[in-house]
Structures are given as structure tokens and as C-alpha cells.
A and B are shown apart, each in its own frame.
Chain A
Amino acid sequence: MDAFKTPFRLDRNRSASIQVFEHLRDLIVTLAVKPGETLDRHDLASYYGLSSTPIRDALSKLGEEKLVCIYPQRATEVSPVYISSAKQAHFLRLSVELEVVELLAKQVTPQLTFALKNFISQQELALTLQDFSSFAKLDMAFHHHMYLTAGVEPIWTWIRQQSGNLDRLRRLHMPIEGKAQLIVDDHKKIVLAIESGDGAQAAAAVREHLSGTLSQIAKIAQAHPEYVIS
């Protein structure tokens, strides 16, 4: 387990099981730990320097997000990438985001368009600097800001929690490098439509923006049969 060579630093002020959950989730979603790999509870307990209870709680939460398979009395395995779960997460995100941009177009303010355009300029800067890790974070921040402004921030969190398999699938597919410019262009279209108060146009732009992933799902599944379950 190469992913577990770097020492882990526990923050004593936060729940241990949540920190383990977040750390493991990140390793799984970024494919640092691959589908099929075994997660041994004793190894994990000694790696994190914790008792077995927080480990068990963290694994059980990962199980709820369909990122690990827990076999009672036996080991826990990183689950294959479930295509059906990824498709449903995509459906969820698309449906909510259509509704979000239609709402924003109805109640657009200069503050909103300023904030969104600001994210886009930062993304363009990150792109020139070839800083794709910042680019990906700004991409998330752009979308997150729309949920926040629409007054439905908790739904953003719910979607994140449903998206573990979709995120793994994206990782298998294409590094963000290849599509960064497209993402920026799509974001511009969305903001333009919101700014002009055109909800239908904003919805169409969101549909186009999110359609790319879905059309790739079948191709990705074919390219990585060893990781994927439909």
C-alpha cells in the first residue's frame, strides 16, 4: 500500500473517525488506492495510530458511499467503480444544477456575476500557469458558489457525497489538462446567460457543460474493464 507510506497527522481537535474517513475517501477517489485493493483494519489502525472503533466507523461511512465493500468477519476491499452509481450521481448533479441556474437567472445581481467572472479569470490564470490542481479547485468553487447563492448549499454537500464513483470514473478518463479550455468556455456561457436573465439559455449551457462526462462513461468503462462494474 504505497499510499500509506507518508505519515498521517491527526488533528486532536477534530473527530478521529471523520479524519480517517476524509483521508481514505480522498485516496480512493483519486485512485491512489485502486479498486480491489484490500484495506486491512489492523494495518489501518496502526497507520493512523488509532483504536479499531474510529476505523470501523470510517469504513462503514465509505461503505454507505459505495466506495468500499465490507465483508463481515473478513477484509474490506476498495469497491469497483460502479457505473450505475456514477450515472445516477451525474443525473442528480445535472437536475439540480439546471434548477439552480434557472433560479439564478431570475434573481441575478451584479455581485453574483462579478463573483462568477472572478472565478473564471482565476481559472484562466491557472490555465496559463499550467496549475491544474488550482484549476480543479476553482472549477469546484465556481459551481459551489452558484448553489450558495441559490440558497441551497446543503444540496451541494449531498451531491458531493453521492459522487465518489463518478469522481473515480472522471479520474480514469482524462486528466483535466485536455479539457480545461472547454470548461472555461462553458463557464462563460453559463454566466452570460445568467447575466442576461435567460433561464432557458442558462439551463441549455449547463446541459451542454455536463453532457461531456456522460457520453464518456461507456468509453471509460470499456477502456478499464478491470476496475468497473456496470
Chain B
Amino acid sequence: MEAQFELDKKQSTADQVYVYLRRQILNLSLKPGVSLSKVELATFFNVSATPIRDAILRLAEEGLVDVFPQHGTRVSAIDIDSAKYAHFLRLSLEVEIARRLAVAGAPKLIQELGSVVDNLRFSLSQENFDAFIELDFEFHRRLFVAAEVEDLWQLICSKSGNIDRLRRLHLSLNGKAADILQDHLDLIAAISQHNAYAAEAVVRRNLSGTLSRLRALREFYPGLLMPESA
């Protein structure tokens, strides 16, 4: 981990360590299989062992690291089963949200989403995928807020460590980011035209890509993905 870390004394140390490590794992700076030494982490973050242990425990609960007692901790391989559950959850919720927003109309949301899409377009032109991912999350989070179900966005985030890592892999493949951008524009159009069917179809298309490309992802990134159960 070459990046810098600065501790904010006003916030929980364990939280900050958790957030930092989680981001590094999700953007694949820390790749599956990399081992995480608690001693080295404590030195890197310049904190005691307790917050490190708490942070690792939380990452383990989300399935992002494997803790082997006596043998240390490793960033876990991408678990396809877990990715599928998270995908099903997110698809169900976003389909229902899109339908409701299209039926009820959401003029304020449409404006907000328009400016998020502008930023997405810019980050794509710079090929800044990390920024693109953050903005993509922001786009989706706003849909949940508009539908008054923001807690459910938090739920999705806490379950999506594996699908998010798959998406990150997928995004580096040619053309995926441009497709996402187009999906977002189509969703905005469908909601503003009160077209619930179209809105639902866009959500399904937008979220279906990654899992349907598993075979390609496996070939491009051997060793990072766990085998699926039958």
C-alpha cells in the first residue's frame, strides 16, 4: 500500500482503518490472495492492535478477507455465489425503485442525476475509473434516497463487496463504462417520461452485464475468482 493515510483524531480509529482497507480491496489495489499482516498494518496506520483487529473482523463479516487463526489474514478470492446474491438483491430493489419513480415522477431527482452523468462523462474521458465508480455509486444512491429507502442502499453496500470487485474488473474491459453511461441516460429519460416499463428494462440491462461475462472475466483474470457452487 503505497498510498498515504492520515488519521483523523476526532473519528473512531477502527472505522477509519476499515474504510481505508475496504476501499483498497474494492478497487483491487489489494488483490485477492494478498496477505495482510496485523503488525505491518499497525505500523502503516500507526495505531495499536485493537482497531486493526476490529477492522479486520468487519471485513471478514463482509467476506472481503479470510482470517486463518495462527496463519494470518488474506484478501479473499472473489466469491461468485455471494456476488450473485448481492446482485439479486440490488436488481430487485432497483427495479421496484425505478418503477415507482417513473410512476410518481421525480423532477428534482432528474436534475441531480443529470449533473452526476455530466461528471461521469468527464471521468470517462479522462479514463479515471476510480472516479467513475464513485460517481456511479452516487447515481444509484440518489435513486434510493429519492424513493425514501436510503437504509436499503446501505444494506446493499454492506453485501456487495464481491459483486463490486467483479464490476471493477469488468469496468476495465473495453466499452463497459460507455455502456453504463448510456444506461444512465436512458434511465433518466424513462423516469422523466413516466415510462415504468422502459425504466425497469434499463435497470435490468444496466445490472445484468457483469455476471453474464463471468467466463470472459475468468479468462482475463485467472486466479482472482472463486469457483461457483453447482
Contacts and interface: CB of A to CB of B under 8 A. Distances in A.
Genuine A/B complex: yes
A94 B99 CA distance: 13
B88 A99 contact: yes
A98 B95 CA distance: 10
Interface in A194-219: none
Contacts of A87: 148
B116 interface: no
B8 interface: no
Given A95-B95, A99-B95, A88 B88 contact: no
Contacts of B208: none
Interface residues of B, number: 17
Interface residues of A, number: 17
B151 A152 contact: no
B159 interface: yes
Given A88-B149, A88-B151, A162-B155, A95 B96 contact: yes
Contact of A155 (B85, B97, B147, B151): B85
A7 interface: no
B155 A95 contact: no
Contact of A94 (B89, B96, B147): B96
A96 B149 CA distance: 14
A84 to B, nearest CB: 8
B80 to A, nearest CB: 13
A136 to B, nearest CB: 25
A144 to B, nearest CB: 15
Contacts of B155: 92, 158, 162
A188 to B, nearest CB: 24
B89 A155 contact: yes
Contact of A96 (B92, B148, B151): B92
Contacts of A85: 151
For the complex of A and B, the 9 pairs showing the least CB-CB separation, nearest first, are A95-B96, A99-B92, A95-B92, A96-B92, A95-B93, A88-B151, A88-B149, A154-B85, A152-B88
Interface of A: 84-85, 87-88, 91-92, 94-96, 98-99, 151-152, 154-155, 158, 162
